[in-house]
Amino acid sequence: MSKGSVVTLNPGKDPEKKHNSTDKCMSLDALAQYAVDCRRCGERVILCHGTYDLMHVGHIKHLEAARQLGDRLLVTLTADKFVNKGPGRPVFTQALRAESIASLQCVDGVAINLADTAVNVIDAIRPDVYVKGSDYSNSKDDVTGNIRREQDAVEHNGGRIHFTQEVTFSSSALLNEHFSAHSDEVRDFLQDFRLRHDVSRLKKSLDSLAQLNVLVLGDVIIDEYHYTRSLGQTGKGNVLAVQYEDKESFAGGSIAVANHVASFARKVTLLGGLGGQESHEAFIHQHLHDNIQPQFFTNPDARTLVKRRYIGDDSQKLFEVYYGGETITTAVMETKINTWLEKHLSQYDAVIVPDFGNGFITQGIVNRLAEGARFLAVNTQVNSGNRGYHVITRYPRADFVSLNEPELRMAAGDRHGDIESIAAHIAEQLHTTHLAVTRGKHGVLLQDQTTGHRHVIPALSRQVVDRVGAGDAFLSLAGLCLAANVPADIAAFFGSIAGAINVQTVCNREPVDPVLFQKYLVTLLK
């Protein structure tokens, strides 16, 4: 049984006892025992579950209707950490949400659930009736599949599911309007975007990505985070001393991009280079999405690149160490890779190239990709290992280019010029139809050369845990969209959502989840 977070512990084992709102708040274990006591007295137990981020008349009518189905109404709420409804959600903490629910006369007990579904709650409480609102009755709208799983759990425990038909309101719409976590710029953008695009059509655009056959080609990188605690300055010299605590490894570089892509496209091939001495191949295979077909070429004298970052207090990055990765592609490897590309390149609808400039992608491979790819999306990342000589202009052609602002300025050799003019100039030089400039807190600029339009998407997340990998997430989703002929403004918007989701987790711990993506999308546009 998954234990709920304790708000106030008072199980109230006498089901006849009248509780005030504080007494009604209890742990999940206590709520389950309360349900047992009620059934022993011959009472029918009703269960409702939800987020209840903003209590409104729709919730009240729903809960009152649920109470009419039995003798005791128990309510569980999704804990804060499991509320995946977009930026700034939940607006109200789990303690405040629980207190609001408990204040209702029709409610007999409330608990917080530390899980993303109610299945564990249903198994613990075993309600006679599990009640959801009418907006959950259409199984086609259940993108998570949670309602189906919850219904199975209810029926397995001898109960039934019931959908109330009371008036419904959208908490997300009310929160977006009155308690928005967005800036005025984001709110104005979303209002305009809603007028131009219907959510159902946006979902169809997202679904169209599944049909793509995609090749991801680029540097394989293992990212390591070594977590430390500061001890202060050493006794001799001006040196920071830290206490080592833990480490975490992530599949980064082209692996992370392939995983993002594979969440939305059904067929994905990953082409990369490994070192023969410390390949990390077993780790890589363990962290690849199931629908990715790996195609690795190995240099027996090299090591797969590991970027080790030391993390201090408050997740501050102290410094970074590179292990291996230099000149990983030999002349023999290049010949084999180009032979493989010549044979297979034409079968892919899209080729997405996260080029980190660490020695895998040679100029010969660049030329082969530019000549043969049906749709080519490229990012040339500027990092500590290649600063000053790795720029997008090494590619003679690309259909979609995604760069951050320093990468674009370095390619143009223009430090202070107008960013829109520079973007148009580089796009024309590369014969690219779309060029995106990711600008961190200033959002994204997408230059559409086919129409001459510039699409500006403001940053969609204020909560930033880690920026590592956000550009890769944007490249993956925006690149897929443009390859599938999704309109440019939608492609930029989808890429921005992917980036906003990615910055809310550490490094590349998880690829962008399509279900979370849809929930984020719907919440933004309510």
Per-residue pLDDT tens over the stretch 121-162: 999 999 999 999 877 766 566 666 788 889 999 999 999 999
Q: Any idea which of 180-189, 371-380, 505-514 has the lowest mean pLDDT?
A: 180-189
Residue among 121, 112, 117 nearest 93 (CA) = 112
Tell me the C-alpha distance between 53 and 98, whole Å: 10
DSSP code string of 347-391: G-SEEEEEE--SSSS-HHHHHHHHHH-SSEEEEE---TTTTTT--
Q: What is the pLDDT of residue 139?
A: 59
Tell me the C-alpha distance between 381 and 489, whole Å: 23
List b or e across 242-268, with b for residues whose CB sees 16 or more CB atoms inside 10 angstroms: beeeeeebbbbbbbbbbbbbbbbbebb
Tens of pLDDT, residue by residue over 390-400, are 999 999 999 99
List, in sequence order, the alpha helices (H) in 373-513: 405-412, 419-429, 470-483, 488-502
List b or e across 274-312, with b for residues whose CB sees 16 or more CB atoms inside 10 angstroms: bbeeebbbeebeebbeeebebeebbbeebbbbbbbbbbe
Tens of pLDDT, residue by residue over 26-49, are 999 999 999 999 999 999 999 999
pLDDT-derived band at 83, boundaries 50, 70, 90: confident
The larger pLDDT score, comparing residue 174 to residue 462, is at 462
Sheet holding 129-132, edge to edge: 109-113, 72-78, 45-50, 129-132, 160-163
Tell me the C-alpha distance between 182 and 168, whole Å: 24
Beta bridge partner(s), residue 159: none
Q: How long a stretch of residues is the chain?
A: 526
E strand or H helix at 456: strand 454-457
Q: Do 50 and 145 form a contact (C-beta atoms < 8 A)? A: no
The larger pLDDT score, comparing residue 55 to residue 18, is at 55
Q: What is the pLDDT of residue 60?
A: 87
Tell me the C-alpha distance between 277 and 494, whole Å: 39
Radius of gyration of the chain (CA): 26
Tell me the C-alpha distance between 381 and 391, whole Å: 8
Residue 239 CB: number of other CB atoms within 10 A? Answer: 8
E strand or H helix at 24: helix 21-24
Residue 8 CB: number of other CB atoms within 10 A? Answer: 17
Q: Average pLDDT over the chain, rounded to whole?
A: 88
Whether the pLDDT of residue 178 is over 60: the answer is no
Q: Do 495 and 431 form a contact (C-beta atoms < 8 A)? A: no
Tell me the C-alpha distance between 518 and 526, whole Å: 12
Locus of tokens 């082409």: 271
The class that CATH gives domain 208-222+253-301+324-514 is alpha beta
pLDDT-derived band at 13, boundaries 50, 70, 90: very low
Q: What is the pLDDT of residue 10?
A: 39
Whether the pLDDT of residue 181 is over 90: the answer is no
**Residue type at position 419:** I
What is the residue extent of each domain of the chain? 21-178, 208-222+253-301+324-514
Strand 129-132, strand 160-163: pairing: parallel
Whether the pLDDT of residue 8 is over 60: the answer is no
Q: Is 14 exposed, middle or buried (0-12, 13-18, 19+ CB in 10 A)?
A: exposed
Beta bridge partner(s), residue 521: none
Tell me the C-alpha distance between 376 and 394, whole Å: 14
Locus of tokens 């207190």: 99
Locus of tokens 């039934």: 160
Q: Which fold has domain 21-178?
A: Rossmann fold (3.40.50)
List, in sequence order, the alpha helices (H) in 68-118: 94-102
Q: Is 37 exposed, middle or buried (0-12, 13-18, 19+ CB in 10 A)?
A: middle
Phi, psi torsion values for 162, nearest 5 degrees: -135, 140
Tell me the C-alpha distance between 311 and 477, whole Å: 29
* Centroid of chain to Cα 68: 40
Stretch 228-247: mean pLDDT, rounded? Answer: 88
Tell me the C-alpha distance between 131 and 125, whole Å: 13
Q: What is the pLDDT of residue 385?
A: 79
The angle subtended at Cα 131 by Cα 130 and Cα 136, nearest 5°, is: 120
Q: What is the pLDDT of residue 117?
A: 87
Tens of pLDDT, residue by residue over 340-368, are 999 999 999 999 999 999 889 999 999 99
Phi, psi torsion values for 35, nearest 5 degrees: -65, -40
First to last CA, the chain: 35
Tell me the C-alpha distance between 311 and 320, whole Å: 9
Q: Any idea which of 164-173, 233-242, 247-256, 280-289 has the lowest mean pLDDT?
A: 164-173
Residue 180 structure tokens:
């928005």
What sign results for the dihedral spanned by CA atoms 505, 508, 510, 515? positive
E strand or H helix at 99: helix 94-102
